[in-house]
Copies of this chain bind each other. A is one copy, B any other.
Amino acid sequence: MLGNFTYCNPTKLYFGQNALDGLNEELPKYGKNVLLVYGGGSIKKNGIYDKVIDILKANKKEIYEDAGVMPNPTVDKLNEGIERAKAAKADLILAVGGGSVCDYAKAVSVSVNCNDDAWDKYFIRFEDVTCDIIPVGCVLTMVGTGSEMNGGSVITNHEQKLKIGHVFGEKVFPKFSVLNPEFTYTLPKYQMVSGIYDIMSHILEQYFSGTDDNTSDYIMEGLLRSLIHSANIAVEKPTDYEARSNIMWIATWALNTLVAKGKTTDWMVHMLGQAVAAYTDATHGMTLAAVSMPYYRYILSYGTAKFARYAVNVWNVNPEGKTEIQIANEGLDIMEAWMKKIGLIMNITELGATKAILDGMVKSTLIMDGGYKVMDADDIRAVLQASF
């Protein structure tokens, strides 16, 4: 655990089949105007909407709605949400949905009381929040982003072909989150495995960074082993409660700042995936899956020891009689086969990318410098080229 850091995560989690009862603990802490934020309406089909409305009414809340949050929330929608929250004089924003809905709720929460343009301030200039923040609570219905217990918020600007995330500080974290694994049962398998790979990528992008050997790496190996174990069960039987509950818990702990402690963190798979999504609007986890193997094989020689450790400690590769590079490659081979087996999309062509947008995607890829090899535009191009 090298370096100086702070850790503080004040989000209160309610977990389990009765988790929604937690709303009765939390709602009395806030004023009467609640802005209910959700997506395309699947919560109306599976009954979660009605349950939430009943609890809001029982707690005598004035309910204002902001529906239609899309999988990659746009800056136009954000500006609409700001107006809705203002009109509602919202005391609490309650996000009911997946990471996109929760990300969006946070973006609205930090923008309502600011006079500045939200996109420019937070997603182009990466400025700190300087105005009052509306508290956010979250009822999670899709697993993957970790947004339920962190300050992250990703917004897409189609006009500028940019999908950018801002990691806000602990004041922007949801005050509470409701995590009922059963709420994720009705999600289509495509979305479920996409979420599973989003979780895995969060862990790997923190794991494959830095030169130190710290406790965070060991925790991440545990999370990865548990994730693989439970994913194998969930893919066969999506209503296996224990598997889905483990996956939900891992998602939260993969990206709530804990496992980043003592690490530099990489995040280039996310930067590449987000560039692909800015052009294709493809599902987040699938964009990560499609660029991961080309990226890891590209940087493997810059961090071979860690890739070999990963092969042994996560994928049970037997290292006997093999060179470090052989062990490392064998680990990636096993990982690639597993990704295909659970149904991930392994190339960006299937996600709608064409050679015509290659230049654009290269330009849209933000370069971050915490990984084993700092990329330049040629490196980005090579990885994306290999991802078709």
Contacts and interface: CB of A to CB of B under 8 A. Distances in A.
Contact of A245 (B2, B8, B226, B250): B2
Contacts of A250: 215
Given A242-B213, A246-B214, A5 B16 contact: yes
Contact of A223 (B8, B219, B230): B219
Interface in A242-278: 242, 245-246, 248-250, 253, 258, 261-262
A130 interface: no
A221 interface: yes
Interface stretch (A17-25, A114-122, A297-305, A335-343): A17-25
Interface string A208-238: 0000111101111111011001100000000
A215 B218 CA distance: 13
A160 interface: no
A367 interface: no
A64 interface: no
Given A215-B226, A225-B218, A242 B2 contact: yes
A258 B7 CA distance: 14
Contacts of A15: 1, 4-7, 261
Contacts of A7: 12-13, 15
A40 interface: no
B2 A13 contact: no
Q: Which of A13, A22, A217, A222 has the most CB of B within 10 A?
A: A222
Contacts of A13: 6-8
Contacts of A261: 15, 249
A10 interface: yes
A9 interface: yes
A181 to B, nearest CB: 8
In the complex, the 8 A-B pairs of residues with the closest C-beta atoms, listed nearest first: A4-B16, A222-B222, A218-B226, A218-B222, A8-B12, A1-B245, A7-B13, A215-B226
